[in-house]
Chain A
Amino acid sequence: MDEFLKCDMHLHSSSCYSRNYDENLFIKTMKDSKLDVFSITDHNVIDVELYKKLVDEIPEKDIIGGVELNIAIDEKEIIRRNLSTKSNYFHAIVWFDLNDLDVAWEALKSLIESKNIDIENKTIREISKLTEGEYFYLKNIQKSFKHFNYYLIFHEGKSDRNLSDYLKNNIKENQEFKHDLFYYNNKFAIEGGIKTKPISQYFEEHLNTVITRFFFSDAKSLAEIGKKFTWINFDGKFESLILPFSDPEVRVFTSDDLGENNPQKNKGKYLEAIKIEFKKENGESYYEELNFSPSFNGIIGSRGSGKTLLGNVLGNDDITNYQKFINPETIKYKLFGEDYKLSSPNSKYLKQNSLLDVFRNNEVKDIDFIKPLFEKQEKEKRDLINLFTNKVNKLLDYEKRLFLSFVDQKLNILEDISFIEDNVNLDYMIEKFLEEELEDGEELLKRIKKEINDLKIGIKDERDKIDKFPKIDLSYKELSPYEKVIKDFKKDYIKLLDDKSTLIDNVLKKLDKIDSSDIALRKSLLKLLVKLIVDINEETNISAKAFIDNNEKSKKQLIELTKLRTVFNEVYKEIETLIVDLKKETKSSPEIINEDEVIVVSTSLESFKTYEEHFKNYFKGYIDKSYEYHMINIFFDYNDINLLKKYFDGNKFRNVNTAQMFLDNYYRKLLDDLKEAEEFKVKIYHNDKDVETYSPGKKSEVLLDIFLHEKILDKDYVYIILDQPEDNIDTKTITKKLISRVRKMKREVQFFIISHSAAVIINGDAENVIYAYEDGKDIKYKQGRIIDSNIKQNIVDTLDGGEKNLKMRLNKYDFDKGDK
């Protein structure tokens, strides 16, 4: 399985004239180093014997054959292409398969001999020395090396002998030559780390080709070996170098950029393997055990081959539906560094077509990006609902209590006002007055004394404040003048307060001494007077009294009816307003995605009915917007059950026989209805537009952006499963959004992507491809990399655009690059 390996593939050995290493010490250094892969790149020589020793003594490390050559462009080509060169030659390292050691050395020897260098009976180190200052034409190297596969990595951004020193970049003809050099050869790269980024960027943006940048130690001493290195995502084998060469953006990271940290950040936490028990028709079972990359695992296969089954097993979702094929009870998951367990790890599963379904199922709020935004709003909304329920409860309770209290007072039976026509002489009546309207002297004096006493409490408070003044420390001499002034002030002020206190005590004593018997006398006389007036009025004219009482009673009835109807009206308006507020959208603060796109999440109770829609559900013969009219009629007919029934929907009030039951049921049911403000509608606004109004394609695009927002990384998922995320998305969006997002995130979280799109699998750079297939009636899986021959064929056979994408990828050219 491919993984990021620590590679130092430009270092010199004890066989190179440029270094003075002891061979044994060199071998020990290589063995002890923390490198996973290395290559010996001595100047112009290949020490075959040394390589063999290294292979024998360090079998745990991968070794790739190599050499560093002095290279020049031949004069004929320089003239033909009108090139401007400076210095004689530049440096490049060459990598080849260790199996080609002998072939490569033979080819190189012939090149050396072509320079009239006598290598007979010379040690490798001596030969190396003899080549110092000599150089080979690129065309001759290509001609000599044509019998084996090799990579050529030019010096760039190093101290000397850079390609750009030899062929200056700012000259048009030189640039054109380099373009041809790299564009038509997918096995050339540069070595120079991030310093050379402007060069690779130039190639990507202007010359439509990808150049891989490496960074190695080129160590001058043994201690320096492995200090500068490149993290390369491959299996350490020469033939797999095509993968990082064809997609360096995600496969190659240099230590001058990333340091010692493994680019695969979830190395310690990912699903390493899974074991599934499959059932055969004959009752027997077989196991499928799959190993996974911590990065991107692509799941491919024909329709119905078991891809989604694997997705569901990984996501621990709807496994019971597959009981015919697998035994859900025995599925085992193995996390990195742990044993197999029955429990599935924490994961996020985006099922097929579920992006569009999230709206239909109101599941938008469950997307990790949306969740915290929604939860904040949900809390605010829930508080609002509680407030609403509380208020509605009070309003309806008040309305009901008033209704029933007025019924008790018989205000629903209209008074006959024909008494008005009676001939009553009111002239003899003495006007009544109320005892409470007259001044009560005793109460008045009590209030005054209390006020005076309060003044005394105030004085005590002031005195306490004076006592609590901060003390001045006289050891600070400069404070002593202040101390005297403050001391005098405190003394004078306390005297003032004592005088006030004495004054208050005196006045209270004086007040107590005054004879209050006249006050009590007046009170008893007034009481007597009120009684006398009532008695006289009664005795004088009983009919007049009856007239006045009737008049007051009838008028009171009208006043109370007005009040009751006002309450009906106000409760109605108040609840309608509360519902309007409740239904209002609550919007989150804007969140930026993709640098310049704004996402806002809103929550509302859009589907919550109006108050009128709620209560009219229980009424019969209700005319729109006439709540208080309907209610006042109920009020007037309350005492006649037959009349009362005509106002209520009988289906909702079965077995209701009394007026009180009608009223109780009505208010209880209504309140229960109003409490059901639960289902929130969540909307997503993308650049101020409601995403729901977008076409399915655009909607999927935005939702994918949101789903795969980096916030998902905060959620501690071991892995993310996407089932055919490319559905409903156009090709451009697959590349621009889905693939680029997966490429960016797969170094931080493990991905399982079920897909029919070659672009997703190949350009997304799946490190591990799982092919699901039917073997007779059995579901089987096999796995490998996109360069493995059996998987390559499955990609071609199964994926849309499989062959085209594979060829483009392995030939390195990314046609999307440089479009701008």
Chain B
Amino acid sequence: MITINNSDQVIVKHNNKEYNIKNKNQYKELIIYLTDPNEKIDASIFDIDEKLTDERLKSICLKYQEFFHSYLSLKEQAIKEAKESLKETIETE
């Protein structure tokens, strides 16, 4: 779930963990989680917090949601391409 904390910073909450996008380490952790080829991640983890009422904040969350959704929609293809590329290298080189 994407939400905004008290300091007006964007937070991704998932599996009892909070990832502050602006915090370098937490963002790295989130990326490590998201780019794990063994993890099948559901787009719903980027659902926007329904409790958010401020339209401006909601719109910020929406932009992040679009970014991550866009990545997730390309993830499977990226995994497939990496496997094919490796296979091709092994078989042809």
Contacts and interface: CB of A to CB of B under 8 A. Distances in A.
Interface stretch (A67-75, A82-90, A551-559): A551-559
| Contact-residue bracket for chain B | 20 to 34
B82 A563 contact: yes
A567 B80 CA distance: 10
Interface string B59-86: 0100110010011001100110111011
Determine the main DSSP class of A at the interface with B.
helix
Nearest to A421: B60
A766 B1 CA distance: 93
A562 interface: yes
A394 interface: yes
A98 B86 CA distance: 94
Interface in A554-584: 554-555, 558-567, 569-571, 574
Contact of A418 (B21, B37, B75, B86): B21
A552 to B, nearest CB: 10
A391 B90 contact: yes
A398 interface: yes
Contacts of B83: 566, 570
Which of B38, B74, B82 is packed against the most chain A CB atoms within 10 Å? B82
Contacts of A417: 21, 27, 64, 67
B35 A628 contact: no
Contacts of A565: 35-37
A420 interface: yes
Nearest to A423: B59
B22 to A, nearest CB: 6
Given A414-B27, A555-B74, A636-B28, A562 B35 contact: yes
A391 B93 CA distance: 10
Interface residues on A, range: 20 to 34
B31 interface: yes
Interface string B30-42: 0110111110000
Interface string A658-682: 0000000000000000000000000
Given A562-B82, A565-B37, A566-B83, A414 B31 contact: yes
B51 interface: no
B89 interface: yes
A632 interface: yes
A551 B82 CA distance: 22
B67 A563 contact: no
A420 B63 contact: yes
A319 interface: no
B37 A395 contact: no
A395 B86 CA distance: 8
Contacts of A574: 90
A569 B67 CA distance: 25
A566 B78 CA distance: 9
A579 B55 CA distance: 57
B4 to A, nearest CB: 11
Interface of A: 391, 394-395, 398, 414, 417-418, 420-421, 551, 554-555, 558-567, 569-571, 574, 628-629, 632-633, 636
19 contacts: A398-B86, A398-B89, A398-B90, A417-B21, A420-B63, A420-B67, A554-B67, A558-B75, A560-B78, A561-B31, A562-B75, A562-B79, A563-B79, A564-B82, A565-B37, A566-B37, A571-B86, A574-B90, A632-B35
